[in-house]
Amino acid sequence: MSEYMDRYNRWLAFEGLDKALRRELEEIKNDDNAIRSRFARELSFGTAGLRDQMGAGCGRMNIYTVRQATQGLAKWIADIGGGDRGVAIAYDSRNFSAEFALESARVLCANGIKTYLFDALRPTPELSFAVRHLGCVSGIVITASHNPKEYNGYKVYGEDGGQLPPDAANVVAEAIKSIDIFDGVKLMDAAEAEKQGLLTYIGEDVDAPYLDKVYEQSIDREVISRVADDFSIVYTPIHGSGNKLVRRILERCGMKNVIVVKEQEEPDGDFPTVETPNPENREVFTRAIELAKENGSDLIIGTDPDSDRVGIVVRDIEGNYVTLTGNQTGVLLSEYILSMRRKMGLMPENPVLIKTVVTTEMLRPVAKAYDVELMEVLTGFKFIGEKIKSFEQTGEKNYVFGFEESYGYLSGTYVRDKDAVVASMLITEMAAHFKEKGMTLYEAMQALYAKYGTFREGVKNFYYYGIEGPSRIASMIERLRTQAPDNFAGVKVNAVRDYSTGVIKYADGSEGKTNQPLNNMVYYELGNEERGGWVAVRPSGTEPKIKFYFGYSDPDKATAQARLEEIMTAVVEMAGAE
């Protein structure tokens, strides 16, 4: 009998198996593919923890895989002697998020580890804050961010408030592998844990200081109040955890007219009004746009389920509501923050902006204009968090702002992850600033193109489900890595960065180094500084998909867009994606 069938039968034989999970397993007893998809592999604990579809089996998110992961974490905490410092736990609006959070707490408490559990759903960035605020050794947040409703996840944070670093994550991963998923896990009743002082529920006592730190990032604290009577925004939490705190911080800043999308206000893990709760997709704003039209609103803001990403919709010159990309919003925020800090004398010494490798190159001329250093890191906000930590340790540089193209932004160092609460506040403040000047954010973006040149970006995602999906994705990346052409759509390839080896190969035959941690990504440098672009390809770390990123700049807007689309087509065709 195969190994996956052995696992399947063991789960069925476990007397204490959750009834709903048992029903699921019994329903698939004659479906080999369904059994294989759940038991052919165990969930992999990476630097971001666990993430997959919910359901029965060692390859799915359920109370047993969550307990096993937490037992592994508890072992690591015991080994480093951090049990007395405790662990903070937060969760979002997804189905079973509250249950997974409670099960995590029960395991930690059974291992004698002090646990702080939020009394209701909270934004992921508040968990990052809570770890440092409470002096914890670690933190857990139950979320799958903006993934489809079938998914959930388990993210682990270190004592610095950033996602667990690779070395520690590897130790935890090995500990998890050594633990029997049923017999190797300790559990304590929650009421008993609370009675013994091991479990403490937290809420407003963390909300208030967190919001104080968010408010500290405001630059012009009067601008919203100055336009408040004639300034209106529509906000949607997209059934997630941002609703209360986003609205509280906007009210604190002087906002009077915040219209909430009622159909998307309440937490709901089924996300009934959207296909996926992702603010990158315009369709999530359908009802918000209707409300904005009815009320003549200036701005629409939407935060994802765990409120670490934010998307916006603005009015163009004709008054139509158009979405801005994560890159455009990030560039606008960078320009606003730098210009206002310089104007108000708030720019620190040795200031630094940080972007990820796949984020717009438009940030380079912005940073240059304000004499601010620009740093580039790998994809994932944890790498920005690592830089913030390093700056605080050395004191040589000061972090000002950082963002990634996938709608994640952070101003300040009070957390070590992207934060849609502070981003919502600063976007609103920025919109009020331009409203006072008689401009929309769309017009402000056009002004930046006139100032710095036209930059266009694009992303294409291809999903490959099933057992063969990972190998197909791997073969595409390998083809792009080993069979690099000398041009894409007539645009010269100047260099190929292979982040899996850390080597850059230039068109003239010379080589250099990426000076980044090793990562499964290929990056092409195209054209020249005035008319050129780039392409990056990597597998998703959380979904069965391959991601293609593109950028191109040209003094002429139409040319920039046309060349970008030609390059996108050429790269996808070469990779064999469909």
Return the active site residues. 145
Angle made by CA atoms 174, 75, 385, in degrees to the nearest 5: 75
Q: Pick from 263, 212, 265, 258: which is nearest to 243 by CA?
A: 265
- How far the first Cα of the chain sits from its last, in Å, is 36
Residues pairing with 403 in the sheet: 355, 409
DSSP line for 240-256:
SS-HHHHHHHHHHTT--
Whole-angstrom distance, CA of residue 277 vs CA of residue 282: 11
Q: Tabulate helix, strand, coil % of the chain (nearest 5).
A: 40, 20, 35
Residue 558 CB: number of other CB atoms within 10 A? 9
Whole-angstrom distance, CA of residue 272 vs CA of residue 149: 9
218 touches 426 (CB < 8 A) = yes
Whole-angstrom distance, CA of residue 524 vs CA of residue 549: 10
Whole-angstrom distance, CA of residue 395 vs CA of residue 401: 16
Q: Which residues contact 209 (CB under 8 A, 6 or more apart)?
A: 129, 133
Angle made by CA atoms 306, 96, 39, in degrees to the nearest 5: 110
Tokens in use for 319? 């008054």
Whole-angstrom distance, CA of residue 137 vs CA of residue 131: 7
